[in-house]
Structure 1
């Protein structure tokens, strides 16, 4: 990538260190080469640590953390494409671990409530069928 300052009007004043005279009209251009920014690759390391600690469904959080570390290593070396590849894999694994863990928690909570409801129905049914056994209970 190149950025040129050709179209920007520059000051024509003379500066002592440039040695320009008052009657000279000199303008210089500057070319800035910008290297690709490798630090812009997100490695999802904190998300992987959280999933490893709290949502490690079938070790997906651990595997996501491994790929996040590999992405960070590639970023340090300067391999932007390799870092993106590992970061993409870590992101997918983090999404899978999060979704699966939340689904398992929701299904578990629903099953507990359904089980308690069924036990309550059975108790009520037994109270109606055998009032002598549950004599003093209402």
Structure 2
């Protein structure tokens, strides 16, 4: 025995309050899903700064990573995402440049060593 107007009342099924006799709008529930905070790439930036710092790209990446971490702590996720993506790009550039430089140094060393070996045997 529910009083009129309570959810158990059969006369309210299919109607929304305020529109008697008409099929009404069904209320819905919105669920806000909080996404994960952006990565700040601080460890990668530290490695690029300490081990490979061509054209000070590692230092710039470290600065942007720290700015991204600060923005994340304040709650500005858009700003943190912007600084984190800049740090990521700088880290990629630094890593690629150092990889190319190391590869060229290895190739030059191998070619020089093979030529030295070839000339020391008296083939020239």
| TM-score, normalised relative to structure 1 | 0.63
| Matching residue of 2:21 | none
Greater gyration radius: 1
Of residues 112, 115, 138, the one that matches 2:112 is 115
Cα-Cα RMSD: 2.5
Q: Unmatched 5+ residue regions in structure 1?
A: 1-22, 130-138
* 2:115 is equivalent to residue 95 of structure 1: no
Q: Secondary structure at the match of 1:40?
A: coil
Of residues 18, 31, 34, the one that matches 2:32 is 34
Q: More strand by proportion, 1 or 2?
A: 1
Alpha-carbon distance between aligned partners in 2 of 1:50 and 1:30, rounded to the nearest angstrom = 49
How many residues in Structure 1 have an aligned counterpart in Structure 2? 103
| TM-score, normalised relative to structure 2 | 0.70
The list of structure 1 runs, each at least 4 consecutive aligned residues, that deviate by more than 3 angstroms after superposition, is 23-27, 29-37
Shift in Å, 1:58: 2.1
Of residues 67, 76, 80, the one that matches 1:79 is 76
